[in-house]
Structure 1
């Protein structure tokens, strides 16, 4: 039966054979030597037998927490329902958690997962642009590689520091002088960068 359980992947079963000192030559009959079983001799004083109040051929089953489930002398044979008892005990062992509580997976920032109660759960990301929230006085700019949602950026904030100041004026002038275009610098949204955009930005800063 024991090998049948192992062959059916019930590898949680561990068999321990403890031989009474005077019967050490027969201890091998109790457990086959393999990675799932262990045998030993209770010598010199048979202290294990004494602490358990055990007699020879007493059989014990413990659950995964070490609680005693069955105690029986098997001189006349193993219990007929032994295999079902063991399988039920194995099925009652809590499964190992997939992850540690609070851990996150962020390989895809738009589809992150968080560990809740030992399992991965997908988090829902509500981006303002996708839910129809307007970007007042600005534009939604594409997110960086590690972000999901577009960022609402105020017109004229060319250094993206969430403030309008002289640094932004310098940057917009440089764009005009080098004949470059940036939608966030096009304050009057006429698809052209010129002195009008500079004036509008300065007025916004000093107002």
Structure 2
């Protein structure tokens, strides 16, 4: 294939860890391949569910195309499959490294090596991390994850002080409601919440 101009293929051979002394038997200086042996306990073999002489073929995006044991030989149509996969590689990058797409803030995409990849977002609330002494507040339209806010932190500065107390008093006067001001979580804002806030501030 190299003589025909197909130089996009990377060959990697991985042996069991106990076969490290036999690496020289797998290739010679005239072959365009790299060989190595697995770490102790063979984690790579385990992660791929592989056995000795298992063959894996991936496309340019890292998607698995073929998984086959080749003790009896390689697939007869392997060369044509590889050529088809090479022809599927874009002749120019799909995007510029570092570009981002944030149409959906919970499924952002980032350009890496000319291809788009989804970025995994792990939100604290969805992963079960508690919000002690506070509550998770719904995110804004351009954010994905809800944010843990302290009860009483009306100005969202991650502390509770006199300015927050004044905000709560104004809510009571105007008969308004804000879940952050409901310090005792009884569904209403009243003097009890104010007393609780004062105790928090002076403690």
Report the TM-score when normalising by structure 1. 0.54
Match of 1:44 in 2: none
Structure 1 equivalent of residue 110 of structure 2? 114
Distance (whole Å) between structure 2 residues aligned to residue 93 and residue 129 of structure 1? 40
For 1:170 and 1:120, locate their aligned partners in 2 and report how far apart those are by CA, in whole Å. Answer: 49
| Equivalent residue, structure 1, for 2:196 | 200
Which residue matches 1:127?
Answer: 123
**1:191 aligned partner:** 187
Shift of 1:155: 0.2
Give the C-alpha shift of residue 93 in structure 1. 8.9
Gaps of 5+ in 1: 1-89
Q: 1:202 to 1:93 in 2, by over 3 A?
A: closer
Q: What's the Cα RMSD here?
A: 2.1
1:114, CA displacement in angstroms? 0.5
Q: Secondary structure at the match of 1:140?
A: strand
Match in the other structure for 2:172: 176
Q: Does 2:164 match 1:156? A: no
Displacement of 1:144 in angstroms is 0.7
Runs of 4+ in structure 1 over 2 Å off: 90-94
Deviation at 1:178, TM superposition (A): 0.9
| Counterpart residue number, 1:55 | none
Structure 2 unaligned spans of 5+: 1-85
Aligned equivalent of 2:83: none
Q: 1:92 to 1:198 in 2, by over 3 A?
A: closer
In structure 2, distance between residues paired with 1:195 and 1:155: 15
TM, length-normalised to structure 2: 0.55
Q: 1:92 to 1:107 in 2, by over 3 A?
A: closer
Cα distance 1:190–1:143, how it changes in 2: closer, same or farther (>3 A)?
same
C-alpha deviation, 1:161, in angstroms: 1.6
Quote how far apart the aligned CAs of 1:137 are: 0.4
- Aligned partner of residue 110 in structure 2, secondary structure: strand
